[in-house]
């Protein structure tokens, strides 16, 4: 019997919701705490010490950000799962079964390894900006290095740690790929199951509404917490670069720590991916299908980047050149997309398209719009910064010479903000090609992307078949990350 809308919503919001709430937030808290424990020491070692090759280590420990969580989860399963590389290696030694990686341990490990750079990036930037004179004053008063870090440096890092922790927590709450591969039940996974197994989508929408409320509550708590954390330099004079701390006998342990993180988060996943790819080559992969999936991924990512860049330009002009309550409200609405899980945005667009504009339902255009909504905040931030660096007097001088507003924007403003717009578009593209939940729900019938191919192959245990598209996805996603590094943009 098909339940009506109120009954479906009530059924979805049963006592099971409390269990989902505890599991989801428990996973988020564990991943966030572990990410902070890894990221803060890494950020300090690569910015404030004489660690050998610290710039190299900063790059290597940031690269896991390019690996989507569902790809990372797939690689961990293929390495440590029941049919994985470790089991094959231990089989001749008489080890018939290894401990299961599925469930909470696997989801926690996968999400931690590929989200800690979100914290390390923000903390690294904060460490560079901290005035070293405060630390020197504390040391001159007789405090030890550890005590100085605890009482002087750490309080100044709290805003950056909180910002990175918020990004990690939001990512975990909205993640679908890693938890689905690891078989750990969370809100997003339950929403998708409810959506696929019911003729009525009201129950899925009800669970999505609960998740949105949780996100809003989390953002509210963060804003209140951030409002109490204002640490900045108020004294006169110029700020000079910090002096590198000497590690001394701790140099080898520091190198071992950086090596271990790089080995587990980067070398191991990429090595396993290459291993399974070589085995997949022997199975005569369908290169035509892989090529089509890669083109589809590029098409969806490029479309989302274009829409987001255009929207960011318009919104940034309103915010920077015509500030008002309306423009500020539009800016906040634009940023809301990054706080919402892809599955929630996708469900909202399904309801809208199926009931208001049926002609666009199950079309590529709807998928591109969804990806644009999800990641337009990344383009807005880069574009606003670029536009704020353009002196208004340059535009005013052009208008004084008789040029119209459109001509001034085309010939003066556009070339000056092009680098920022390109960096924002690259950020959107990087995230759009990796997006799984929205693509899973909104992709037109027959429109396969690399993300969908990887997820479907791994859910049925075909590691060899999923390895090659995963490697192709990393190759597709690497150039935007290099572009971001070259332009010095902030990776989300």
**pLDDT tens digits along 450-460:** 888 887 776 66
- Residue 236 binned pLDDT confidence (cut-offs 50, 70, 90): very low
Q: Summarize the confidence of residues 448-470 as an average pLDDT.
A: 75
Q: Which helix (H) or strand (E) holds 127?
A: helix 116-129
38 C-beta neighbours (distance < 10 Å), count: 23
pLDDT score of 206? 72
CA distance 453 to 465: 9
- Residue 391 binned pLDDT confidence (cut-offs 50, 70, 90): low
**How confident is the model over 145-190, as pLDDT tens digits?**
667 777 677 777 787 788 778 878 888 887 877 888 888 888 777 7
Q: Summarize the confidence of residues 478-486 as an average pLDDT.
A: 60
Q: Summarize the confidence of residues 399-415 as an average pLDDT.
A: 71
- Going from N- to C-terminal start, the domains of the chain cover 1-281, 287-492
pLDDT score of 303? 92
Indicate if 287-492 has the same CATH topology as 1-281: yes
Q: Which helix (H) or strand (E) holds 306?
A: helix 287-321
Pick the range with the lowest mean pLDDT from 230-234, 410-414, 444-448, 480-484.
230-234
Higher pLDDT, residue 113 or 416: 113
Average pLDDT of the residues of the chain: 76
Higher pLDDT, residue 236 or 346: 346
- Residue 384 binned pLDDT confidence (cut-offs 50, 70, 90): confident
Distances in whole angstroms, Cα of residue 79 to Cα of each of 104, 123, 145, 457: 17, 31, 41, 15
pLDDT score of 27? 93
Pick the range with the lowest mean pLDDT from 89-98, 175-184, 441-450.
89-98
pLDDT score of 232? 47
Q: What percent of the chain has pLDDT over 90?
A: 9
The SS3 assignment for 49 reads: strand
Among candidate residues 376, 471, 341, 450, the one with its CA nearest the CA of residue 66: 471
CA distance 190 to 183: 11
pLDDT at 418 over 50: yes
pLDDT score of 109? 92
pLDDT at 112 over 90: yes
**How confident is the model over 277-328, as pLDDT tens digits?**
777 666 677 788 888 888 898 899 899 999 988 888 888 888 777 777 787 7
CA distance 201 to 452: 22
Domain 1-281 classified CATH 1.10.3720.10? yes
| Residues 27, 107 contacting (CB under 8 angstroms) | yes
Domain 287-492 classified CATH 3.40.50.300? no
Pick the range with the lowest mean pLDDT from 70-84, 105-119, 264-278.
70-84
Higher pLDDT, residue 445 or 228: 445
pLDDT at 55 over 90: no
pLDDT at 240 over 70: no
Pick the range with the lowest mean pLDDT from 164-178, 202-216, 247-261, 371-385.
202-216
Distances in whole angstroms, Cα of residue 479 to Cα of each of 312, 344, 381: 22, 29, 20
pLDDT score of 485? 46
For tokens 């100044």, the residue is: 156
CA distance 458 to 448: 15
pLDDT at 57 over 70: yes
137 C-beta neighbours (distance < 10 Å), count: 13
């Amino acid at each position: 019997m098909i339940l009506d809308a109120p009954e479906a919503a009530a059924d979805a919001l049963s006592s099971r919701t409390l269990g989902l709430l505890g599991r989801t937030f428990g996973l988020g808290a564990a991943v966030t705490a572990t990410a902070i424990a890894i990221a803060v020491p890494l950020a300090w070692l690569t910015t404030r010490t004489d660690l050998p090759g610290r710039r190299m280590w900063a790059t290597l420990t940031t690269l896991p950000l390019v690996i989507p969580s569902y790809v990372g989860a797939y690689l961990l399963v293929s390495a440590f799962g029941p049919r994985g590389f470790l089991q094959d290696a231990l089989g001749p030694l008489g080890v018939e079964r290894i401990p299961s990686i599925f469930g909470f341990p696997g989801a926690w490990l996968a999400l931690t390894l590929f989200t800690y750079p979100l914290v390390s990036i923000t903390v690294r930037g904060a460490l560079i900006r901290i005035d070293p004179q405060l630390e020197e004053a504390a040391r001159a008063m007789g405090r030890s290095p550890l005590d100085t870090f605890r009482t002087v440096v750490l309080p100044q890092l709290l805003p950056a740690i909180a910002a990175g922790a918020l990004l990690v927590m939001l990512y975990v709450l909205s993640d679908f790929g890693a938890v689905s591969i690891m078989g750990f039940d969370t809100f997003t996974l339950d929403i998708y199951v409810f959506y696929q197994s019911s003729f009525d989508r009201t129950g899925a929408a009800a669970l999505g509404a609960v998740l949105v409320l949780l996100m809003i509550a989390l953002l509210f708590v963060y804003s209140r917490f951030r409002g109490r954390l204002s640490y900045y330099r108020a004294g006169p004079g110029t700020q000079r670069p910090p002096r590198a701390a000497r590690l001394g006998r701790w140099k080898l342990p520091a190198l071992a720590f950086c090596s271990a993180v790089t080995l587990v988060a980067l070398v191991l996943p990429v090595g396993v991916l290459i291993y399974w790819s070589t085995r997949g080559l022997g199975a005569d992969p369908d290169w035509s299908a892989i090529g089509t999936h890669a083109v589809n991924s590029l098409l969806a990512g490029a479309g989302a980047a274009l829409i987001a860049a255009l929207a960011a330009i318009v919104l940034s002009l309103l915010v920077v050149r015509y500030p008002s309550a309306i423009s500020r409200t539009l800016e906040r609405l634009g940023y809301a997309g990054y706080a919402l899980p892809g599955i929630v945005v996708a469900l909202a667009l399904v309801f809208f398209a199926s009931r208001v504009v049926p002609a666009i339902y199950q079309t590529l255009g709807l998928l591109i719009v969804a990806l644009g909504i999800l990641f337009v905040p990344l383009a807005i931030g880069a574009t606003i910064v670029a536009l704020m660096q353009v002196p208004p007097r340059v535009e005013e001088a052009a208008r004084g010479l008789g040029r119209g507003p459109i001509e001034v924007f085309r010939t003066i403003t556009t070339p000056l903000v092009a680098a920022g717009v390109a960096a924002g578009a690259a950020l959107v593209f990087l995230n759009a090609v990796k997006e799984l939940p929205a693509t899973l729900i909104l992709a037109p019938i027959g429109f396969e992307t690399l993300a969908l191919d990887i997820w479907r192959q791994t859910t049925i245990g075909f590691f060899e078949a999923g390895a090659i598209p995963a490697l192709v996805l990393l190759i597709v996603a690497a150039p935007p990350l290099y572009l971001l590094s070259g332009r010095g943009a902030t990776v989300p």
